[in-house]
Structure 1
Amino acid sequence: MSKMMHIKETKKPRIGLYTVGLKTYWSQFPGLKERMMEYGKFIENKMAGFANAEIFNYGLVDTADSGRNAGDYFNENKVDLIFCHSGTYVTSDCVLPVHQASKAPVVVLNLQPTARINYEKTTTGEWLAFCGACVVPEISNAFNRAGIKYRVINGLLGLNYTTDISLTDEVTENRPEAVRAWREIEEWIKAAGVKSALSHARFGFLGNTYSGMLDMYSDFTMVQAQTGVHIEVLEMCDLDRQMKLVTEEEIKDKISEIYNMFEISEDSAADPIAKKPTEEQLYWSAKVAAAQERLVKEYNLDSLTYYYHGAPEGEYEKLQGGFIVGHSLLTAKGIPCSGEGDLKTALAMKICDILGVGGSFCEIVVTDYVDGTILLGHDGPFHLEIAKGKPILRGMGLYHGKQGTGVSVEAKVRTGNITTLNMTQTGDGKLKMISSEAESTDGTIMTIGNTQTPVKFKKDPDTYMEQWFTEAPTHHFAMSVGHNASLFRKVADLLNINHIELK
C-alpha cells in the first residue's frame, strides 16, 4: 500500500544547545577550549538528524555574562528545548543565567567522551576533557533552588573517531552507554517537536459529542490552556457548503484513492448488515471525502473531531453516513480524525501522528480468553499507514448505536510491538496520559466492518483491565506501532501532563 502525502508539514522542533566550561582553563590548558567546541559541534550535527530539528548552537558558556547572552540568544530563536552539554567543569553561576533568561525546558547532557581514561598518560588537561560529571550535581542544586525543572542524560558521547589532542581511544558510538544516551536525546527532541506542533495546531470540532458519553466531554478552554491547541468549532453546514463545491473531477480522484488504499469487500458471511459496498455508497463516500478535505484545507486544520446524530432521514444524517472513509484517508494524510466527538482521543492520535508512529482510533471490542488477547478497534476511522495489508471497505446496513448507513473500514494494525495512548481528564480538570506497551497478534477478527486488532498485554486480560480501569480512562484511545512509553513519558513531561505507564 502506497504512503499518502501529508496535507500539512509538521512544524520542526527548534533545539537550543550550548557547551559549558570554565574560562580560566582556556589559557591554562591549550587546546581544551577547541576540544570542547569540537564535542559541541559533534552533538549539534548528530541532533540535526532527529525529527528534522533545527539546532541553535550558542557555543561555549564559560562566564556568567556569556550565560545571560546565551539565554537571550535562545529566546531570540524561540527554541522549544535546550540541551546543556556538560563538557568540563564550570561554576554553576555561569549556567543558571541561561535558564533564568530562557524558560524553555532544559536537559543536561553528561556525556563522557571515553569509556576509560588513559590512567598512565593522562595529564590534568586531558582529565578536564572527561570530567563533565563533576559539575552536574552543582548545576542540579542551583536549578532546584531556583525552581527550574531539569532532566539529566548520563552516558558516553558516542564519537566515531578520536580527537587529535586525545591521549586515549574516544570511539564509543557502539557502546550501550552511548546508544542509550542518544536514544534518550532523540526522544527528547521528538517530544519537543510534539509540544511545538501542538502549540501551533488547529483542531476542528465538527458537530457534537455523542450524547451521554460523559467520559468524552471536554472543556475546550482547559485543553487549549494545557496543550496550546486552538479548537475551531465547526457546523455541519460548513461541511455541507463544501459538498456543494465538490466537482466530478474531485470525486473521480477520490474514488481512485479509495481503490488504491482499500480492498472492496464482498458480502460478509457472518453479519447480514455487512454487505459489499454499492457503487452508490462508494460514490457518496468519495464525494463526502472530497468535501472533508476541502473543509480541512479551508480551516487549516491539523486534526478533526466529529460526530453528528442527525434527525432521521435528514440531509445531515445522509452526510454523516459517508464520514468514515474520508476521515480514514485524512488520518493517513497527517490529519487524525476521532469519532463520536472525542477531542481528547484526537489529541492522543495527533501526538502519535507527529511522532510518526500512527495512532488509530480504538476502544475495547472483546476479550479472547483462549488466546489471552483483547481485541481493540472501532467502527472507524483507521490509520491506514499502520495497517496489516489493505484495509477492507464494507457497506453497512446500519451503524450500530447511531443513525444512518454507509461504508465502514475493517482492518487491523500490523503484527508486532504496539503502544496504546489514552488521554483522559481527571476530576480537577487536568489532562492525564495513560500508555501501555503490548504486542499485536495475527489472530482472527470478525467480518463486521469494524477495525479490530488482537493485542496481548504484559499481564493477563483481567489483570490488565483491572489496572487500566483503576486509572479512570476515557474509553477511547490511540494505538501506535512500536514500544513508545518512554517517548510518551517525555511528551507528557514537556506538556506538564501526568503520565501513567501500565506495566
Structure 2
Amino acid sequence: MSTTSHTPSTAPADTDARPSARATGRIGVFGIGLEAYWDQFEGLEDRCRGYQADVERQVAALGGAVVSAGLVDTPQKARVAGDLFAREQVDLILCHVVTYATSATVLAAVQAAKVPVVLLGLQPTRTLDYEHVDTGEWLANCAACSVPEIAGAFTRSGIPYDTVAGTIQDDERAWSRIGAWVRAAGVARSLKRARIGFMGHAYAGMLDMYSDFTMFHGQVGAHVEVLEIDDLQVRTDAATAEQVAAKTAEIREHFAFADPSDDPIAGPITDDQLAWSARVAVGLDALAEDFELDALTYYYRGLDDNPQERLGAGVIVGNSLLTARGIPTAGEADIKTNLAQLILDRLGAGGSYTEYYGLDMDEDFVLMGHDGPGHIAIAQEQPVLRSLNVFHGKRGGGLSVELQVRHGDVTILGCTQTADGRLKLIAAEGASIPGPTFRIGNTNSRLRFDLDPVSFLEAWSAEGPTHHVALGVGHRIQDIEAVARLLDLELVVVGRDAAARGSRLGASSNDRFVAHRPDVRGGGR
C-alpha cells in the first residue's frame, strides 16, 4: 500500500470546530416597566417597547430561540409571563430592566420556570445631557435603577441570577456576556436531552473512571444507555461490502498514512487492517444511529485475539470519525470526560479525549494527548494513521490516530466526582503551540497555560480530577461558566488570576490560584 505525506489541513482558521454542533436554547425574554409611568410621560411606553424589541432581535441573532413575554408592567402580567415561560420550557430567562419597575413586577415572571435569570441593565445611551434632561427622558435611560432591588429580591427568594450592565447597542463586553449565556442555554438543553452510550466496562483499576450513572440522570438530565460489546459485534458483522468500501474511501479522504520505513514501532498499513477499521466504523455508525447516541463511552479488554479483543482494537478510526461529526467518544469508559467532551462539542470547540503526557520545564509546556480516538476536525494538520503492533496497556493492535490540536487558543475541561457524589467541572485556558511531538500513533499536543507546567499540574491535581480531560479550540471559560450555572455544577478555573493579570504564554510564573464559583442556588455572583 502506498503512503501519503503529512499534509496541511484544509480546516478553517477560525476557532470553531463544527458550528453545526451548537444546540438552540429557548430563551425567555421580557422587559419591565411601571404601568403608572405611561400616562404620566407621553411616549415613554412606546420607547420602552422599542428598546425591548431591539434586545430581543439581538438575542435571536446570537442563536437563541426567543420566547417573548413583551413588556411586563404589573404583577398580574408578570404571572402571565411566568406561565408562558414555564409552558414553553425555557432554558434561561433574560429580564431587560428597561426602566424602573418594582421587584414584585418581576418575581412572578421568573418563579414558575425554575431556571436561572440574567438581569440586563442595558441603557439606550452611554451618557446624557444632564442639564437638559427631564424626568421622562431620565426614566427612558434608568435601566440601572431597579437592578439592585431585583437582585436583593432574587437572593432572598433563592433564584439564581447574573447581572449584565451596559448599553443596548455597540457594547461588545455586555453582548459577549449575553452571548455566552445564550450559547450555554443551548448546551444545557442539549445535555438534558443527551443519550450517552456506555459500552463495555471501565479499565480495571482506574478508580477515577468508576461512575454512578444516576449522577448523570439526576444532576445533568442526560440518559445513559448501557450497551454490550455484542451490540457492536452484530452491527459490524452486518456491514455490507458496499458500506465498507464507502467507509474506506472516507478514511482515505480524512487521514494520511504513516510511512513506517523510519519508525521502529509501526508496521505497514495493510489492506486487511484498513478494511477491518472501516468495517468496525460502519458498525459504530449503526450503533450510534440505532440507539440515538449523542456520545459514546467505551472500553472492553477482550482476550487472546477473541472477537471482543479485535473489536476493541478496531474502534479507533471509526470513533475518531464519530467524534468529528458531533458524537464525541471516550475510551477507558471515562463517562465523566465524555460529558466534558459533549459540552465543548456543543459549544463548537471540539473536545478531543486527552490526558497528561509530560511536563517540559525547559520549553514551558505541558504535553497532552491520548491513545485512541482524536477529534480530527480540530487537528492542526491532516491526521495520520499508524499501524501499531502493540496498544500500550491494552490488548491487540491495529490502526491508531496521530494528530496535534490546532495551534492557537485552547481550553481544557475535566469532569470529576466529589466525595459527596456531585459532578464537578475543572477548566483552564491556554494555547496549543508548535513543536515536535511523539510519533507513536497517539494524539499529542504542546499546551502552554498561564501557570508554569509544574505549578499547573499541582493546581489541577489539587481539585481531585480524573486523569483525562476534553481538549477544545478557543477560549471558552466564559461559556463554560454559564453552562455550569445553568446545570448547577461546581466549576473550578485553574490559573484564573494569572489570566486576569495578562497572559504569560511566553514567560514563566510560579503563582498558583484556583477560583471557585459560588453556589448558584444562593443567588448572585
TM-score range for the pair, normalised by the shorter chain length: over 0.9
Match of 1:97 in 2: 108
Secondary structure of the structure 1 residue equivalent to 2:338: helix
Q: What TM-score do the two structures reach when normalised by structure 2?
A: 0.90
Q: What TM-score do the two structures reach when normalised by structure 1?
A: 0.94
Q: Would you say the 8 A contact 1:290–1:326 is kept in 2? A: yes
Residue among 371, 375, 385 paired with 1:383: 375
Q: Would you say the 8 A contact 1:204–1:234 is kept in 2? A: yes
Deviation at 1:275, TM superposition (A): 2.5
Does residue 1:87 correspond to 2:98, yes or no? yes
Root-mean-square deviation (CA, aligned residues, Å) is 1.6
Measure, in 2, the Cα distance between the counterparts of 1:142 and 1:467.
Answer: 37
Secondary structure of the structure 2 residue equivalent to 1:89: coil
Measure, in 1, the Cα distance between the counterparts of 2:11 and 2:105.
Answer: 48
Measure, in 2, the Cα distance between the counterparts of 1:222 and 1:211.
Answer: 21
Deviation at 1:11, TM superposition (A): 4.2
Q: Deviations over 1:149-193 (max 9, x none)?
A: 2111111111xxxxxxxxxxxxxx1xxxx1100000000011111
Unaligned runs of 5+ in 1: 159-172
Deviation at 1:446, TM superposition (A): 1.3
Secondary structure of the structure 2 residue equivalent to 1:145: helix
Does residue 1:16 correspond to 2:9, yes or no? no
Residue among 165, 179, 188 paired with 2:172: 179
Measure, in 2, the Cα distance between the counterparts of 1:375 and 1:60.
Answer: 53
Measure, in 1, the Cα distance between the counterparts of 2:395 and 2:110.
Answer: 55
Measure, in 2, the Cα distance between the counterparts of 1:308 and 1:373.
Answer: 33
Q: Would you say the 8 A contact 1:191–1:490 is kept in 2? A: yes
Q: Would you say the 8 A contact 1:267–1:275 is kept in 2? A: yes
Does residue 1:414 correspond to 2:423, yes or no? no
Equivalence map 1:106-121=2 (5 Å): 106-121=117-132
Measure, in 2, the Cα distance between the counterparts of 1:411 and 1:395.
Answer: 14
Residue among 315, 323, 327 paired with 1:323: 315
Deviation at 1:408, TM superposition (A): 0.3
Deviation at 1:104, TM superposition (A): 2.1
Deviation at 1:3, TM superposition (A): 7.0
Unaligned runs of 5+ in 2: 1-8, 496-525
Match of 1:211 in 2: 204
Measure, in 1, the Cα distance between the counterparts of 2:329 and 2:215.
Answer: 20
Q: Which amino acid aligns with 1:348?
A: A
Does residue 1:464 correspond to 2:475, yes or no? no
Q: Deviations over 1:315-363 (max 9, x none)?
A: 1111111110000000001000000000000000000000001100000
Residue among 437, 440, 445 paired with 2:432: 440
Q: Which amino acid aligns with 1:276?
A: P
Q: Would you say the 8 A contact 2:284–2:318 is kept in 1? A: yes
Does residue 1:478 correspond to 2:470, yes or no? yes
Q: Would you say the 8 A contact 1:210–1:341 is kept in 2? A: yes
Match of 2:511 in 1: none
Answer 1 or 2: higher relative contact order, Cα 8 Å, separation at least 6. 2
Secondary structure of the structure 2 residue equivalent to 1:97: helix
Secondary structure of the structure 1 residue equivalent to 2:412: strand
Match of 1:40 in 2: 52
Does residue 1:248 correspond to 2:245, yes or no? no
Q: Deviations over 1:448-490 (max 9, x none)?
A: 1011000111111111111111111100000111111121111
Q: Which amino acid aligns with 2:52?
A: G
Deviation at 1:292, TM superposition (A): 0.2
Equivalence map 1:3-402=2 (5 Å): 11-50=23-62, 52-158=63-169, 173=170, 178-267=171-260, 269-270=262-263, 272-402=264-394
Q: Which amino acid aligns with 1:37?
A: R
Q: Deviations over 1:372-424 (max 9, x none)?
A: 11110001211111100100000010100000111000100011111110101
Give the count of matched residue pairs. 483
Q: Would you say the 8 A contact 2:89–2:113 is kept in 1? A: no
Measure, in 2, the Cα distance between the counterparts of 1:24 and 1:458.
Answer: 53
Q: Would you say the 8 A contact 1:265–1:275 is kept in 2? A: no
Measure, in 2, the Cα distance between the counterparts of 1:445 and 1:232.
Answer: 36
Farther-moved stretch of structure 1 (276-285 vs 352-361): 276-285
Q: Would you say the 8 A contact 1:264–1:276 is kept in 2? A: no
Measure, in 2, the Cα distance between the counterparts of 1:312 and 1:224.
Answer: 36
Measure, in 1, the Cα distance between the counterparts of 2:441 and 2:37.
Answer: 69
Deviation at 1:367, TM superposition (A): 1.8
Same amino acid, percent of matched pairs: 46
Q: Deviations over 1:251-289 (max 9, x none)?
A: 11111111111111111634x232332111111000100
Measure, in 2, the Cα distance between the counterparts of 1:366 and 1:466.
Answer: 13
Measure, in 2, the Cα distance between the counterparts of 1:276 and 1:30.
Answer: 81
Measure, in 2, the Cα distance between the counterparts of 1:147 and 1:478.
Answer: 33
Q: Would you say the 8 A contact 1:268–1:447 is kept in 2? A: no
Measure, in 1, the Cα distance between the counterparts of 2:344 and 2:326.
Answer: 10
